[in-house]
Amino acid sequence: MKGVMIQGTASDVGKSLIVTAMCRILANEGIKVTPFKSQNMSNNSYVTVDGKEIGRAQGIQAEAARLEPTVWMNPILLKPRSNQNAEVVYLGKAIETYSGREYREQFYEKGIEVIKKSLDHLEEHFEVAVIEGAGSPVEINLKDREIVNMMVAELADVPVVLVADIDRGGVFASIVGTLDLLEPKERKRVVGLIINKFRGDITLFEDGIEWLEKRTGIPVLGVLPFMENHMIDGEDSLSLRSQFLTKKKGTLDIAVIHLPYISNYSDLEPFLYEEDVSLRWVNHASDFGQPDAIIIPGTKSTISDLKNLRDKQLDILILQHAKTGGHVVGICGGYQILGEELIDVDGSDTGKLASTVSGLGCIPAITTFYKEKETNRVIGKYHKDTRLPNNQKLEGYEIHLGKTVFSNKGCSFLILDNGEEEGYFANDGQIIGTYLHHLFHNDEWRSHWLNMIRKRKGIPVQEPTYIKDFKDKRFDFLASQMKNHLKWDLLKDIINQWSTR
């Protein structure tokens, strides 16, 4: 296969962003390029057009490459359900929940098989693959059965570029240490180094580049700047947390309940584009304050996160906020938490049969969990009883185990294109529950919801902020920035020479 693999000295060094940029650079040069990551671990997922689930990072990288994402770009997705267990999504469908040991012992051969199959499929349809690794390639205790770093580079037979994060410190030790721990045949694959997240005057690092190249014998292919507020969807909540912290504080205070097993936090990212909106995480009662609105996001373990919320007495503050007219939105697991009761007959949410717990009771509904997961892209319009303009379309996707049914008469939020009623809408939108991920990516809806809060707060309403086109411009901006700081022609020569050696 013709391509390159981006590996890192650690997690969160910027591999996903670099792969995204490279996909757009190559696509802009007219090359048929595809992203690939054999195994992703994230609760932030992406639903493909055929209703399959892959890691969100690969979905975004495909968009950067101007492609429709497919399961072949990320055949294995691990979605943590606890500190010990993760759900395995195999070619887009959930198949089993394993402990770490069970996964290593029972899934390895099946994993290798589907990785080979995926690489063969991509090689048949694309000219170049930009492959992303995970964590570090020298986790010694896991290395004998890893299926995401050097094993994949060997299966694809591509060169490796090693990325290190200078912002966290220890960049020289992390590079030299990683190379030292690689086996000789693995080290031969490492053809370049990238220093990421550099701040300040690059001339102050020139002697560092010289030292690294002399010490390792490997060229430094670029020193990339620290890019704040790049607005490219993050793979995990760490990336979104940093954007929350760096965003300018706004007049509207939106509190997001930070659930331990939060999922699909990309639902929140459109608010980062709203100048007068301040987003903040709420972990404890002491963080709660007096928000203008609360969002309870999705979760991979609804009942567990509901218990955590109660243990911190956040339930009391959420209910008080709702009773005094404050706006509350629950998305997916957050919607389930806002209901009256949650019933886990098969143990598909808790792992324990016949578990039943009370919800917060803001929404008159009962959720029952089943084994089969719903994963669909959906289009709908407002339910007529919301008195919102029903000629406006909303797009998003569903990823959930439970089915929620009203216990008393309530107003649905949406009518989907298949005729089904979806979600809950009360008090002119003061309380909303929905399974629709990416609800707030619909610009007209997000504007309407924020204007309801602005009116309640007594501040002027605003025209919608349209972000769909802006996102594509961000891909081009990211690609331009990365290309300007990379030895791009040298990197392309390395890729071409490797494939013809």
Strand 93-99 with 85-90, pairing: antiparallel
- Cβ-based neighbours of 69, under 8 Å, separated by 6 or more: 46, 48, 49, 54, 58, 59, 62, 63
Residue 367 carries which DSSP code?
E
- Residue 253's alpha-carbon distances to 47, 249, 267, in angstroms, are 30, 9, 17
- The two tokens of residue 394 are 């909303």
pTM: 0.84
List the one residue out of 183, 180, 174 whose CA is nearest residue 208: 174
Mention every residue, 6+ apart, whose C-beta is less than 8 A from residue 236: 12, 42, 44
Count CB neighbours of 346 within 10 A. Answer: 17
pLDDT value at position 239? 53
Q: Is 332 a catalytic residue?
A: yes
453-462 CB contacts, 8 Å cutoff, 24+ apart:
453/252, 453/292, 453/293, 453/327, 454/252, 454/276, 456/292, 456/325, 456/327, 457/251, 457/252, 457/292, 459/251, 459/276, 462/276
Mean pLDDT by 10 residues, the chain (501 residues): 96 94 97 97 89 93 96 95 87 91 92 97 98 95 93 97 95 97 96 95 92 97 84 55 59 94 89 91 94 95 94 97 96 96 84 85 94 88 90 90 87 93 95 96 95 94 86 90 95 90 72
Rounded distance, CA 118 to CA 50, Å?
17
> What span, in angstroms and rounded, lies between the C-alpha atoms of 91 and 75?
5
Q: Please tell me the distance from the alpha carbon of residue 188 to that of residue 176, in angstroms, as a whole number.
A: 14
E strands present in 106-238: 128-132, 160-165, 190-198, 220-225
The pLDDT of residue 248 is 58
CA distance 450 to 468: 18
Alpha helices in 324-417 (DSSP H): 333-338
Check residue 234 and give its pLDDT. Answer: 54
Does residue 318 contact residue 285 with C-beta atoms inside 8 Å?
no
The reply to whether 362 belongs to the active site is: no
How far apart, in whole angstroms, are the C-alpha atoms of residue 477 and residue 498?
A: 29
DSSP state of 248: P
The 3-state DSSP class for residue 492 equals helix
| Other residues' Cβ atoms within 10 Å of the Cβ of residue 458 | 6
Measure the CA angle with vertex 371, ends 55 and 329; round to 5°.
Answer: 65
- Confidence (pLDDT) at 395: 94
* Predicted local distance difference test score (pLDDT) of residue 237: 47
Q: Are strands 365-382 and 393-406 parallel, antiparallel or unpaired?
A: antiparallel
Contact 232, 478 (CB under 8 A): yes
Q: Active site residue: 321, 400, 437, 485, which one?
A: 437
**Annotated active-site residue in 23, 258, 332, 441:** 332
Give the torsion sign (CA, 414, 420, 422, 426): positive
User: H-type helices in 290-426, by residue range?
Assistant: 302-311, 314-323, 333-338
